Each structure stands twice: as structure tokens, then as C-alpha cells.
Chains A and B, each alone.
Chain A
Amino acid sequence: MSRVRRDRNSDRKVWVLVFVVISVFCIIFFAARGRFTVPFSSRAATTVLAPFQKITSWVGSQVNYVTSNIWEIVTVHQQNKMLRSEVEQLRNQNLQASEFAAENERLRALLGYKQSVTQFDLVAARVIGREMATWTSMIIIDRGTRDGVDKDMAVMTEKGLVGTVVEASPNSAKVQLLLDPRSAVGTLVQRPESRVAGIVEGNPSDPMMPRMINIPRNSDVVEGDTIVTSGFGGIYPKGLIVGTVGDVQNDSGGLLKIAILEPAVDFQKLEDVAVIVASREAPPAPLTPPQQTPGTETPVGDNAAAGAEP
């Protein structure tokens, strides 16, 4: 009798387990399609864990600092020899570098680099956590809604685009990296004669090399082309560098091409990032009068106004 009851209990447990497993399986697909979200619990978990992650991250960086210092002390004799020989080389290079630095300064001013940066309001943030799962690429930063960070804000470093904020809690935020297969960024080839548009998405086969899809087969995308954000979609401002084309392949369908990108940002060494909390259109370039053929110049200024009088 008791055996029959035990068997029934066991059967019931198996059925409950099967039901739970199937329910969770369905939840995955609903969540992936955006039909099921758990925003409050997710935010609560991030809010509670973020301070501890911040402390652990700080401890980790200190441990890293101390161990690297100890290692330097251990290898100091060997380093000393190498450094002496390097000093001579560097002295020569330093002279050359000063020249380059001055040239660089001039070129930066020429390109209006600073002006282009002022179109963004940036909030600097530290990376305090990183998801090491194999399928998605997320980081957690130490800035949240209290600092003006909100969902769908672009995240970048001085080298280029990092990703977008997908969830913000008061003291931290989750950032979906460019490498995540779920991310999709509207992009353009920066080269003026090309300007081919495409979508950059994470590459599940090689997560360190995102890919640009939807490139027409007859387009002139070549290796080495720089890819920048197009500004379509409204999340990413126009002109942020995404990466350079490392390889161009034909799509399996045969009508399109895929470009494999080398991202501009080193995602392995991501420690500090900046969140674009506001962006404005870059001020238009000042208009310059077109060059005129000698002898056929049209009058400008007061003379022009006077000439226009009947």
C-alpha cells in the first residue's frame, strides 16, 4: 500500500519537474522575443549587488596592482639592463616624438576634433562587473539613473563605440556590448566615395569580431575601411567609430556581403567608459564661397546689395 503511495508521489514529482522545465523553456523564448520581462526584480538584483561588485572590483584592481608591483620587483634586475639600452633609443625617439606631438596637435585642431566631441554630454563610468557567459556580452558600470544614465543611451570610449545601456538602476547600469548577438547598430562606411550602409551585430561564432551585414553585393567595401555609426534608429549618435573591416565575405544567400570587423575598442581591457547622456547635432561647417573664375566674379557684401537694386 505504502509502495503504491510512494510511486504516486514519485510520479507527481516527475510531472511537476517536467512542467517546471517546460515552463522555463517557454519563458526563455518569450523573454527573447521581448514578450516577457522582469524589470523590477532585475533592477533590484542589480541595485543590491552593485555596491558589492564595486568593492570587489576595487579590491581586485588593488590586488592586481600589488601583484604586478611584486612581479616588477622580482624582475627588476633584468628590466634594469633592458631599460638602460632602451633609454638610448628612447632619447632619440623622444626628439622625434616631440616633432610628431606638435604635428599631431596641429592636425587635431585642423580636424576640429575637439569641436566634434563637444556635441556630446558624457558621464564617465567604471566597469564594475562583467558577464563571462559565452553567449552574451554584458558589462555593469557604476553609474545609474542618479547620474543621469538611462536606458538606450550609447556608451563609448575615446577609441569608439562600446554598446548601449539596456537597463539602469539608481547606482549602476547594464551595458549590452557591441559584441552581443542581440545588439544591432546602424552603420556606414566612413570613406566619402563609398558611404555604404549596413547593420553591425554581434557574431556568435567569434564574439571578438562583430560583423556588418546587409551590404549589397556590388558595393565597394574593402578591407581597412573604417565603419562609423549612421545615426539611424536614434540610439547611437552619428559618426562614432565602430571598427575597421578585417575581411569581406559573401553571404550564404548570394545577394549580400558580410564584413567581419575588428572593433575599435579593446573589449578585453575595458575599464573606463563614457555614457552619452545627451547629444546634439554637430554645428554645420562654415560656408565658404566657391572659387570663381577670374574676370567673372560676382560682387559680394554691400556692393552686391547695391548691384541688386533696380
Chain B
Amino acid sequence: MRKFLIWVAFLGSAYVVQSAFLPLIAYHGIGPDLLLLIVVSFSFLRGSRMGIFMGFMVGLLQDLATGTFFGMDIFSKMLVGACCGAFSNRVFKEQFFLPIFSSLAATVMNYLILAVVVLLLGYRFNPILHLQMFLLPMLCYNVLLAWPMHLLVHWICDQTAEKK
């Protein structure tokens, strides 16, 4: 229970920082997605099953707190958690480049999933313009913050790991 509360507090803090502090450094309203980075790192460290669960929890928090299309973040983050978790046994978790490259891939994947959902909901947009205005700034922010977030998630995972 204590471990669960630690994670809840961590996710809540990450969301608060993302929504209330990081807009100060946002570029045209686009900033880093800390919660996505948490899902990616956590999935690599704890595997697919826990990654999906973390994706669900993070997505639920984001959907409830922000008022976006309900279920959209749950859906995308669960899939991102599942994909990253599937590779958890095949990568070196201490590698510096792991969070960097995985954050790039996860940001693109998350963006594409959301784009498809938005298109299926009947909203049309110019993909080229959208890529330039949203995906590129978000990629830059996420790559910059991927390593610190990975270290933080790693540290909390160690703190909350079962002691043998």
C-alpha cells in the first residue's frame, strides 16, 4: 500500500508540474509530456504487464484531470506501455541512450495513436503543419527530459522494489 501511495504521489506531482510549471517554458503551448516519459521508463524497468497498468493509471489521471476526450490518454499510454514493456528483457536498462531513443519512438507512437483517434472522431487537420507545430517541439522537450526522468523513475523503482 505504501509503495502504491508513493507512486500515486509521484504521478500526481508529475502532472502538477507538467500542467502548472512547465507551461512557463512551453513553445507555442507545447511542452514536455512527463507522464509519457514515466510510462516509457517504468515499462522498460518493470516489463509489459506493469507497463500497461502504469499506462492505464497515468492515462486515467490525465483524462480525469484535463478534460480531454475521455479514454484517449488511457488508450495511447496503455499501448505505449505495452510496446515498451515488450522490449524490457532485450535492452540494457542502464544504457544512456535507452531513454533517449525510446522517448523519441514513444512520443511519435503516442502522437500517431492520438492522431488516428482524432481522425476517427471526425476532426480533420493538416498533417504536415501539425507535425511541425506540435510533434517536433514535443520531441525536443521529451528528448531533453528523458534521461533525468528515467533516473528518477529508476530511483523510485529501486526504493519501492521488493527486498529479497
Contact = CB atoms under 8 A, between A and B. Distances in A.
A267 interface: yes
Interface stretch (B93-101, B116-124, B154-162): B116-124
B130 A205 contact: yes
Given A28-B72, A205-B124, A268 B16 contact: no
A207 to B, nearest CB: 7
Interface residues of B, number: 53
A129 interface: yes
A129 B26 CA distance: 13
Contact of B16 (A28, A32, A52): A52
Which of B31, B130, B135 has its CB near the most chain A CB atoms (within 10 A)? B130
Chain A: number of interface residues, binned into ranges: 35 or more
B148 interface: no
A176 interface: yes
Contacts of B125: 204-205
Contact of A207 (B17, B22, B29, B71): B29
A132 B79 CA distance: 20
B79 A45 contact: no
A138 B69 CA distance: 11
Interface stretch (A34-42, A100-108, A279-287, A288-296): A34-42
B69 to A, nearest CB: 5
Nearest to B64: A45
Main SS at interface, chain B:
helix
B52 interface: yes
Contacts of A140: 19
B69 A129 contact: no
A62 to B, nearest CB: 11
Nearest to A181: B123
Nearest to B82: A17
B61 interface: yes
A63 B20 CA distance: 12
B134 to A, nearest CB: 4
A268 B29 contact: yes
A136 B123 CA distance: 11
A42 B67 contact: yes
Nearest to B129: A205
Contacts of B3: none
A161 interface: no
A134 interface: yes
14 contacts: A13-B49, A20-B56, A38-B64, A38-B70, A60-B23, A63-B24, A64-B24, A130-B26, A131-B67, A134-B138, A136-B66, A140-B19, A174-B66, A208-B29
Interface of A: 13, 17, 20-21, 24-25, 27-29, 31-32, 36-38, 41-42, 44-46, 48-49, 52-54, 56-57, 59-61, 63-64, 128-138, 140, 166-167, 174, 176, 181, 204-208, 267-268
Given A27-B71, A130-B29, A133-B66, 20 more contacts: A17-B52, A24-B78, A27-B74, A28-B75, A28-B117, A28-B121, A42-B67, A46-B65, A49-B15, A53-B19, A60-B24, A131-B67, A132-B26, A132-B31, A134-B114, A135-B72, A166-B67, A167-B67, A204-B124, A268-B28
Q: Which 5 A-B pairs have the closest CB atoms?
A: A31-B70, A204-B125, A28-B71, A45-B64, A205-B126
